[in-house]
């Protein structure tokens, strides 16, 4: 079983939206459980309002998260954890102790780039006891027309983490699908381009 954590460097980076849609994409060829450890509980709310036959199981995070993950490992190929929006939280630190992969969505903005430095410190601390932790930065909500977006990959190269080749564009279909209790995979042609990007990220992370 692989444990994949979505870790936010600050609020508003699209962490939960990405974790939901990534999990749905992954569930097309593997058994996946999404654990909602974000105090806002948005993944659970999305699952409760969904009117589609999702392939995805969503669980509320328990206080003893490590024990919960051990219970899930017999039933699922992958467990995805939507962490709290602040990397300094004790629960995020606990998740990084047991995760195989940490995916960190980063918006193409100077503020988000600066905030990533805090994650670097926390991740390096986690690697002291979890040396196999693989940390991958994911450029999220990319807008190709902006200058900083074009320079983002070059800027992230200064940070000692892998940067995913797959990038996630800013698309209205992410908001629209969430409002309907769906993923982009449920949106037909409107979600096709977004689904293709997500599939590339899933393939890159799990293969």
Instruction: Quick: pLDDT tens for 125-135.
Output: 899 999 999 99
Are 41 and 150 within 8 A, CB to CB?
Answer: no
Instruction: Quick: pLDDT tens for 123-168.
Output: 888 999 999 999 999 999 888 776 666 777 777 777 778 999 999 9
Q: What is the pLDDT of residue 155?
A: 74
The Cα–Cα gap between 141 and 58 comes to: 24
Using the Cα atoms of residue 67, residue 69, residue 73 and residue 74 in order, give the sign of their dihedral: positive
0.85 exceeded by pTM: yes
Are 96 and 135 within 8 A, CB to CB?
Answer: no
The residue ranges of the chain whose pLDDT is under 50 are: none
Q: How many CB atoms lie within 10 A of CB 78?
A: 23
The Cα–Cα gap between 206 and 26 comes to: 9
């Amino acid at each position: 079983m692989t444990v994949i954590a979505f870790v936010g460097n600050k609020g508003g980076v699209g962490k939960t939206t990405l974790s939901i849609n990534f999990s749905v994409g992954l569930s097309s060829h593997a058994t996946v459980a999404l654990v909602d450890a974000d105090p806002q509980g948005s993944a659970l709310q999305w699952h409760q309002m969904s009117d589609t036959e999702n392939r995805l199981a969503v669980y509320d995070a328990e206080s003893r998260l490590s024990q919960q993950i051990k219970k899930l490992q017999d039933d699922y190929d992958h467990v995805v954890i939507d962490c709290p929006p602040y990397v300094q939280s004790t629960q995020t630190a606990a998740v990084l102790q047991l995760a195989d992969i940490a995916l960190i969505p980063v918006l193409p903005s100077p503020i988000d780039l600066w905030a990533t430095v805090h994650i670097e410190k926390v991740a390096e601390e986690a690697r002291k006891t979890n040396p196999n932790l693989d940390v991958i930065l994911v450029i999220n909500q990319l807008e190709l027309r902006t200058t900083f977006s074009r320079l983002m990959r070059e800027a992230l190269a200064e940070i000692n983490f892998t940067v995913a080749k797959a990038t996630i564009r800013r698309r209205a279909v992410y908001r629209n699908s969430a409002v309907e209790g769906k993923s982009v995979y449920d949106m037909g042609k409107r979600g096709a381009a977004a689904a293709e990007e997500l599939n590339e990220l899933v393939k890159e992370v799990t293969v």
